[in-house]
Chains A and B, each alone.
Chain A
């Protein structure tokens, strides 16, 4: 009889199970679920990536162009010339390990190559070999390795396991920005014709129609009219947002997920109700129909192109400033890159001033773009909204700080201020999991592809684990956030790890509590579910 392995042998867990080889020689494993589907060749070609070709991640041969080594070398050389930051990031890391256990992917997968220091080392080792004297002369001893095809595969696996959330950067004493390293490596991979479908298809749609979902102008308007029908059902008020109209004070730009996908649509309804109630002089645009920027996940050049429509449309329509919706990475692009990409702002634009309160948003003097949480918090602060938070009394909510608004623009207090005014029950998750130290949803930077759901669930586990704690101990049944990717990615995460918690945007809760002039007594929330604490019906109380 053949020898049966013992359970220990089967599970390969002998007490001293030292790996057979070091990290440099450990090859990545490709199997369905471990990688995103590749971008379509015609899409990459259409976007100008000349080495686009048919390939499959689980094939041994990725059919790289013949001169692939030169392409990578030149691409890295270009990046080093263009970004002094990259050169610093490559040279200054002292491997102190402060970042090592801060990445949600490392915490959730326990794969050492998900330690940010090691993820960066995947590129740094090649950089050393090609661009430093010590690396050229001493090779492995100096932490250098020669580029080979397996390294390209390794990059593809691990740089698409970084959500560019920048939690590691917060803990790095040098401030090494892993997100920038990730974008640059993804750009280098694109130069070889290697991209992922979920991102590049969205980029292509955005390039063509203005939004990631490829919604054309008439469909966008039709969908928003649906949402206006819903608002009328709930409030008895017909909201009629202006479209592509010149001469308004403000243009409102938000991610397309807000008007296209559940539960973002409820947040979008919240925006419309708020603007109607305060009489904001604004317009929507079917051209600037996307606040998000999937290009920013893979390439600075593509990001710049997709971002350009914001100022272009602001100029065409002659608005004074831009009000931006609840999005995550959109705000990193706005705060950190937009001025460089497409600034200065068009001459018709001015430093934003709230037409309702007169507050000057000096923080937005450069970009002329105000986050809606800042705008609404200011309205509440000046007592301009009639709010009835009791309508949300069945909700015990917590707040998920979306990575980019929290870490790239410091938007920490405004959402909490709003939340405390529209909900009577607000509970924080444990410290070190919120505010600047917030844990990512696990699906950011274009990794919310359905085919890698397992990866997303384990990457989002640290977030879900903190949520689970307040769910179990404080009865939290709701989690608010200001990011469209969060609104897409957190529902599955919660469904797996903490069933019984609903995910929503901030302005869904605002609009639930907002008492609009002339509205009918509210009996249902924005999801058209019965309110456990409905408004009193004046007719009924008169009869009584």
Chain B
């Protein structure tokens, strides 16, 4: 049994543990709602997290995963957390909470003597590396999200003043095209 099979057999339990770790980054009083309200429009943070965790888990354990789907899932997850008033480590680092779960739930299985002749430990390490890759991708996405927020703030100011800017430009054009009047100086 390879590592992918080993993990996919326990997919539901392992992703649930991971999702609960994500939810644990929010206040305790909100966890119940996030966990139990299974409606993507009534509980978008909870359900986006859950959906993303499933897709990312498959990618980490080495299932055939469409890279665009994986990227989108990670993007959806990180772009929510990027504006939720948490430090970057918490926004992105929650991905790594899967390591602790894998180490306590899957690693002991890999270290069993009957598996010693197989490459399962190497596969396990490769699996952790894939999670590291997701972490790096998440870092890029987090910083892209923050840059978007800053750009949005600037653009909002411009939009809210659009007619004043237009008026000011017109005034300047008028001033520049107006003929110089004589005797404007004060020297005389």
Question: Footprint of B on A, CB under 8 Å?
Answer: 6-8, 10-15, 17-19, 23, 33-34, 100-101, 106-112, 219, 222-223, 226, 257, 259-263, 265, 430, 432-433, 450, 453-455, 457-458, 461-462, 465-466, 469, 488, 491-492, 495-497
By beta carbon, the residue of chain B nearest A109 is B84
Q: Are A109 and B24 in contact (CB under 8 A)?
A: no
B13 CB within 8 Å of chain A = no
> In the complex, which residues 33-48 of chain B have their Cβ closer than 8 Å to any Cβ of chain A?
33-34, 37, 40-45, 48
B175 CB within 8 Å of chain A = no
Contacts A13-B25, A17-B24, A111-B30 given: A7-B41 contact, CB under 8 Å?
A: no
Chain B 85-124 interface mask (CB, 8 Å, partner A; 1/0): 1000110011011011000000000000000000000000
Binds A, one of B3-11, B55-63, B155-163: B155-163
Please, which residues of chain B bring their CB within 8 A of the CB of A7?
Answer: 93, 96-97, 99-100
Give min CB distance, B1 to chain A, whole Å: 28
Please, which residues of chain A bring their CB within 8 A of the CB of B136?
Answer: none
| Sample of 19 A–B contacts (CB below 8 Å) | A7-B93, A11-B97, A19-B27, A34-B85, A107-B44, A112-B27, A223-B163, A260-B162, A261-B162, A432-B42, A450-B153, A453-B149, A453-B156, A454-B85, A455-B85, A457-B149, A465-B41, A465-B44, A496-B145
Please, which residues of chain B bring their CB within 8 A of the CB of A492?
Answer: 152-153, 155-156
Of the residues A8, A17, A496, contact of B97 by C-beta under 8 Å? A8
By beta carbon, the residue of chain A nearest B43 is A107
B166 CB within 8 Å of chain A = yes
Question: Footprint of A on B, CB under 8 Å?
Answer: 20-21, 24-30, 33-34, 37, 40-45, 48, 79-80, 83-85, 89-90, 93-94, 96-97, 99-100, 145, 148-149, 152-153, 155-157, 159-164, 166-167
Please, which residues of chain A bring their CB within 8 A of the CB of B97?
Answer: 7-8, 11, 13
Please, which residues of chain A bring their CB within 8 A of the CB of B33?
Answer: 100-101, 110
By beta carbon, the residue of chain A nearest B90 is A11
Of the residues B27, B157, B161, contact of A110 by C-beta under 8 Å? B27
Give min CB distance, B53 to chain A, whole Å: 14
By beta carbon, the residue of chain B nearest A118 is B29
Give min CB distance, A458 to chain B, whole Å: 5
Q: Which 5 A-B pairs have the closest CB atoms?
A: A112-B29, A465-B44, A110-B30, A13-B24, A110-B26
Please, which residues of chain A bring their CB within 8 A of the CB of B96?
Answer: 7
A interface secondary structure, majority: helix
Cα A232 to Cα B26 with chains together (Å): 55
Cα A312 to Cα B120 with chains together (Å): 82
Please, which residues of chain A bring their CB within 8 A of the CB of B42?
Answer: 101, 107, 432
Give min CB distance, B181 to chain A, whole Å: 23
Cα A257 to Cα B156 with chains together (Å): 13
Please, which residues of chain B bring their CB within 8 A of the CB of A108?
Answer: 44-45, 84
Cα A260 to Cα B48 with chains together (Å): 37
Please, which residues of chain A bring their CB within 8 A of the CB of B45?
Answer: 107-108, 110, 461
What would 4 more interface pairs be, CB under 8 Å, given A13-B97, A222-B167, A465-B44? A14-B24, A111-B27, A458-B84, A488-B160
Contacts A10-B93, A11-B25, A454-B149 given: A261-B41 contact, CB under 8 Å?
A: no
Q: Are B160 and A261 in contact (CB under 8 A)?
A: yes
Contacts A11-B97, A110-B30, A454-B83 given: A462-B41 contact, CB under 8 Å?
A: yes
Contacts A109-B85, A261-B161, A450-B156 given: A13-B41 contact, CB under 8 Å?
A: no
Cα A100 to Cα B163 with chains together (Å): 41
By beta carbon, the residue of chain B nearest A432 is B41
Cα A11 to Cα B44 with chains together (Å): 22
Cα A12 to Cα B99 with chains together (Å): 16
